[in-house]
């Protein structure tokens, strides 16, 4: 077990967004959080990366409780909306964000070249991000998440708004990263992406309504469809 989320709840004002969430995520797996918009996926991600605090419950990443700087140094985060400096080049964005992790400049330059090549932007690294296409920005955001060689990648709707060909390429990269020993936590509301994960947690109305391997979850349905589980459980806890 690499990540443990135990009895986590979160409310904003009087609205409860997450209710007693319990999850464990293993090393070297692609773990999917799937559910409709507003289900609580992004809130859980923000808690996992330490951007906000829980109201109750605990989150552990490796040997550290979150929030904790040492834990966050092992997490790479790709937000749903790209947080990039559009007036800078792709390369300069990587140097800026990588500099937050106190890497030596010589090592950071080498790493920036590596991740640009990994996401197939090595020929566009010197272009200003304002001139990037939407797909290029997505790939650069992934490169930013990888710049400090984290053990865990947390990706919030990483393929939203991009074409099917690029979506496949990005998922191909996820598989390669898994082979390199990375643990990937990915949120999506696209059901056909869910089956690409090793395990899934289905979340709705702030509850985990199912959590298991993709094969097992599909085996519970008559039509081999993840959507059926949402309809059958009606958004209630197991």
Reported as type and span, the H/E element at residue 105 is helix 105-118
Q: Can the peptide bond before residue 67 be classed as cis, meaning omega within 30 degrees of 0?
A: yes
* Per-residue pLDDT at 232: 67
d(CA 235, CA 61): 28
Beta strand 15-25 with 3-12 is: antiparallel
Question: pLDDT tens digits for 177-215?
Answer: 899 889 999 998 777 788 899 999 999 889 999 999 988
Using alpha carbons, select from 178, 182, 179, 220 the residue that is nearest to residue 202.
220
- The tokens 């947690």 sit on which residue? 201
Task: For the chain, give the percent of residues with pLDDT over 70.
Answer: 96
Question: pLDDT tens digits for 50-96?
Answer: 999 999 999 999 889 998 888 888 899 998 888 899 999 999 999 99
Domain boundaries along the sequence of the chain: 3-74+152-233, 88-149
Cross-strand pairs, 59: 5
One DSSP character per residue, 146-215 reads HTT--SEEEEESTTTTS-HHHHHHHHHHHHHHHHTT-EEEEEES-HHHHTTSSEEEEEETTEEEEEEEHH
Q: How many Cβ atoms are within 10 Å of 163's Cβ, its own excluded?
A: 11
* Per-residue pLDDT at 49: 92
Length of the chain: 238
Mapping DSSP to helix (H, G, I), strand (E, B) and coil, where does residue 128 land?
strand
Inter-residue contact 200 to 194 (CB < 8 Å) = yes
* Best CATH choice for the domain 3-74+152-233 from the list 3.20.20.70, 3.40.470.10, 3.40.50.300, 2.40.110.10: 3.40.50.300
Question: pLDDT tens digits for 115-134?
Answer: 998 888 999 999 999 999 98
């Amino acid at each position: 077990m690499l990540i443990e989320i135990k009895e986590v709840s979160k409310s904003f004002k009087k609205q409860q967004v997450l209710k007693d969430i319990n999850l464990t995520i293993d090393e070297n797996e692609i773990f999917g959080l799937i559910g409709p918009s507003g289900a609580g996926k992004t809130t859980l991600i923000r808690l996992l990366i330490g951007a906000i605090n829980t109201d109750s419950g605990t989150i552990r990443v490796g040997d550290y409780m979150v929030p904790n700087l040492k834990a966050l140094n092992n997490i790479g985060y790709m937000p749903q909306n790209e947080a990039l400096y559009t007036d800078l080049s792709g390369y300069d964005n990587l140097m800026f964000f990588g500099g937050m992790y106190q890497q030596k400049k010589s090592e950071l330059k080498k790493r920036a070249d590596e991740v640009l090549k990994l996401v197939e932007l090595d020929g566009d690294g010197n272009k200003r991000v304002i001139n990037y296409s939407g797909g290029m920005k997505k790939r650069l955001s992934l490169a930013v998440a990888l710049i400090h060689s984290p053990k865990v990648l947390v990706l919030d709707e990483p393929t939203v708004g991009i074409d099917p060909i690029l979506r496949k390429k990005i998922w191909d990269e996820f598989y390669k990263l898994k082979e390199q020993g990375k643990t990937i936590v990915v949120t999506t509301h696209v059901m056909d992406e869910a089956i690409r994960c090793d395990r899934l947690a289905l979340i709705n109305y702030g509850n985990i309504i199912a959590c298991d391997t993709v094969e097992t979850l599909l085996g519970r349905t008559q039509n081999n469809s993840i959507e059926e589980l949402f309809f059958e459980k009606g958004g209630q806890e197991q």
